[in-house]
Every structure is written in structure tokens, then in C-alpha cells.
Structure 1
Amino acid sequence: MSDQQLQNLIKMINQISDNNLHHGDESEATEVVANHIKKFWARSMKQQITDYATSDGVELNSVSRLAVKCLMK
């Protein structure tokens, strides 16, 4: 996957996280984001964002980071 594709994934997961903060606290938003990623993202997309989060992850917001951790369980 190219750098541009990774940047798009980072942007998407951060937007999904931002859009779900209305659920109350970060833990609720994290669960919603993780479930969204599990249901709608391709395996390759999930692998790329997981690899990014474990190697660097600096551009992920806090909810995105927590959601990716949920994916790794």
C-alpha cells in the first residue's frame, strides 16, 4: 500500500472517530469505531492501519488508537 493510501486510511479512521464522539465518552466511541472498522474495512486496510499504529501511530487521534488496539485483540 502506498503512502497516499496510508494517509487516506489515517484520515478516514480519524474522521470516523471524530464523528462518533457524540456517543458520550471515549470508550463508547472507541467501541463504535472498532466495530465499524471490523464490519466495513477490507482485511488489507485493517492490517495496514494496525501495522501503522504499532510502528508509529503518531497521526492517529486517541479514539483511533484505542479502536485499533481493540482490533488487535
Structure 2
Amino acid sequence: MTDTELKHLIKMINQISENLARGENKELDAARTADHLKRFWAPLMREKIVGYAASDKDKLSPVSRNAIALLQGQSE
């Protein structure tokens, strides 16, 4: 995956987490985001964003980081 593609994934997950957030509960917002990624992102996309989060989380929103942590706890 190119650097440009990774930047696009980062932008996408942050947008998704912002759009799905209702603000009432950050854990629930992260769960909604993780569910969206599980349902609509290809396994390779999820793998790449999880790999990025393992090495560098600076560009991820807090909800996105929590969603990725939830994804890591789920099986395919």
C-alpha cells in the first residue's frame, strides 16, 4: 500500500468516526466505527489501518484509535 493510500485510509476512518459519533458515549462511538469497518472495509484495508495504528497513531482521532483497538479484539 502506498503512502497516499494509507493517508486516504486515515482520512476515511477519521471521517467515519466523526460521522457516526453521537457524542453521548465515546465507547459506543468507537463500537459504531469498528462495526462499520468490519462490515464495509476489505480485510486488507483493516489490516493496513491496524498496522498503522500499531506504529503511529498521531493522525488518528481518539474514537478512531479506540475503534481500531476493538477491531484487533475481533476475529475475522
TM-score class, shorter-chain normalisation, is over 0.9
Q: Deviations over 1:25-72 (max 9, x none)?
A: 211110100000001000110000000000111100000000000010
Corresponding residue of 1:11: 11
For the residues of structure 1 that align with 2:47 and 2:14, how far apart are their CA atoms?
Answer: 16
Q: Which residue is 2:20 aligned to?
A: 20
Deviation of residue 23 (structure 1)? 5.5
Q: Tell me the secondary structure at the aligned position of residue 22 of structure 2.
A: helix
Task: In structure 2, give the amino acid aligned to 1:65.
Answer: R
What is the rounded CA distance, in whole Å, between the counterparts of 2:24 and 2:72 in structure 1?
23
Give aligned-pair identity as a percent.
42
Distance in structure 2 (CA, Å) of the matches to 1:28 and 1:5: 28
Number of aligned positions between the proteins: 73
The letter for the 2-side match of 1:46 is: R
Partner of 1:60: 60
- For the aligned residues, what is the CA RMSD? 0.9
TM-score scaled by structure 1?
0.95
- After the TM superposition, which parts of structure 1 deviate over 2 Å for at least 4 consecutive aligned residues? none
User: Counterpart of 2:70 in structure 1: which amino acid?
Assistant: C
Q: Which runs of 5+ in 2 are unaligned?
A: none
Structure 1: any 5+ residue segments left out of the alignment? Answer: none
Aligned to 2:51: 51
